[in-house]
Amino acid sequence: MNTRQLLRSFTAAVFLFGLFSSQPALSTQVRDYEVVESLQNVFEEVVEKVKPAVVNISTVSEVEIKHPPIPPEFRNFFHDFGFPFPEIPRRFETRSLGSGFIVKVEDGWAYILTNNHVVSKAKKIKVKLSDGSVYKAKVVGTDPKTDVALIKIKVGDKKVPVVEIGDSDRIKVGQFVIAIGNPYGLNWTVTHGIISAKGRHGLGLNPIENFIQTDAAINPGNSGGPLCDIHGKVIGINTAIVRNAQGLGFAVPINIAKKVMDDLLKYGKVIRGWLGVYIEDVSPSLAKKFGVKEGVLVTKVMPNSPAEKGGLKAGDIIVEFNGEPVKNVTDLQLKVINTKPGEEVKITVIRDGKRKVLKVKIGQMPGTQSLAHVDLMSKFGFSVQPLTPDLKSKLRVPKWVKHGLIVTEVSSGSSADDAGLREGDIIVAAGVTPKDLRPVKSVDDLLSIIKKAGSSGVLLKVVRGEGVIYVVLNPED
């Protein structure tokens, strides 16, 4: 039963109660209307509170179409008749719409949470506020694993509304929710419903899934918009729908999105814990054999992983993580990735029919370094890779250069292009001023210096050919 049906049933029940009540009919109807109006007022207040902080996001992306090769005989046909062979376009611009909401304003920048699929591969991003003003947006960082992205717009001294973040771990099935977004370009559309389920996974939408399911109407264009509770607090990011189905919408829990946002702002990438095991859910028959109700089966342990170093073995059934029960594969994955790398945890397993407690030091999930490269490209328009001995030899880098980052790509018109960086340059040191230049050995080194420099720009010491030059990399306005 959806919310509208629930309200109709509720109103009908109250009306019938009034008919058979000993109180006067007129008095009963007044009370009935007061109850319904109080519920209506709640929805109105939430919309008035949240709607101003919801934004419309429009993007322009470039899509490359790979046409099949044209046989020579067809090319000759055009040539024989004196016509030039027609050029078939391989790149097309596509436009799309999405939603987002302002979560933070700092140093003249307004930060907006949305979905990764709304802004991924976008060449241009424009954000329209509820007052009609339009701004060019920049990507702060993205996380494809959870389909969360953080973008920002330069608002200067302008006061812009900000949403209030809720706690998605405390929500319950059956609670009222309100979705706000821009479905089919219909700006700032409001729908309502209830939380239909929590912890939905296995949908094949994201690598990491722990969705809130709702029957609030969500359509294309709602992606990235907020899902709010009746207090006007955002508890999720509307993300996906099931095609040709009614009442099946899914949202990323705000607690997951908040961690992504905090990591992107603090580290320039998403930091996740890593165990290093292949796992699968325990079947009912297997659970019965091992005498457990729930857990996950370890099918393989990666060499030199935290799991191997901690003593985990294939065939173990993990039943507890730091004293908390492990329900299924998704539950364990979320527990691990939300653990800070370097932290020691206790993992309880069933091995040979006996309980065994292992101490495992959680590692950092491989692949987070690549997000730092994406961050450099999205913010400053250039990408790099570490200087290896093999590259030093192939590129004939001066012998005195022991470490650094090779610039592998520079986008035209970007901050890096304006600064004078070129492909093949080697960044060997960076700092806010000449006095505090320090060696750059990794992308993390460079990102931390850039973050420290802030709006003042960062000084780069660059090896180009046999010589050394200095360039100033300024953040884009």
3-class secondary structure, 291: coil
Cβ(354)–Cβ(332) below 8 Å: no
Whether residue 147 is annotated as binding a ligand: the answer is yes
User: Choosing from 147, 229, 316, 425, which is the catalytic residue?
Assistant: 147
Helix (H) or strand (E) segment spanning residue 379: helix 368-380
Q: How far is 18 from 26, CA to CA, in rounded Å? A: 9
φ and ψ at 119, to 5 degrees?
Answer: -115, -5
Q: Do the annotations mark residue 222 as ligand-binding? A: yes
Considering the candidates 223, 378, 383, 415, report the single residue annotated as catalytic: 223
Phi, psi of 332 (to 5 degrees): -65, -40
Helices (H), 165-232: none
Q: What is the DSSP code (8-state) at residue 86?
A: P
CB-based burial of residue 83 (10 Å sphere; 0-12 exposed, 13-18 middle, 19+ buried)? exposed
Rounded Cα gap, residues 328 and 371, in angstroms: 28
Among residues 58, 99, 117, 425, the one annotated as catalytic is 117
> What are 255's two structure tokens?
């607690």
Question: According to the annotation, is 454 in a ligand binding site?
Answer: no
Residue 342, class by beta-carbon neighbours within 10 Å (0-12 exposed, 13-18 middle, 19+ buried)? exposed
**Cα(first)–Cα(last) distance of the chain, in Å?**
49
> What are the CA-CA distances from residue 166 to residues 136, 190, 232 (Å)?
28, 19, 9
DSSP tag of 459: E
Active site residue 223: yes
Half-sphere exposure in the Cβ direction for 204 (13 Å, CA)? 1
> 315 among the known binding-site residues?
no
Structure tokens at 420: 């004078």
221 annotated binding-site participant: yes
Distance CA 291, CA 294 (A): 9
For residue 270, give the amino acid letter.
V
Our answer to whether residue 117 is catalytic in this structure is: yes
Two structure tokens written together for 316: 């173990």
Annotated binding residues for substrate, as ranges?
117, 147, 221-223
Q: Which residues are catalytic?
A: 117, 147, 223
Annotated binding residues, as ranges?
117, 147, 221-223
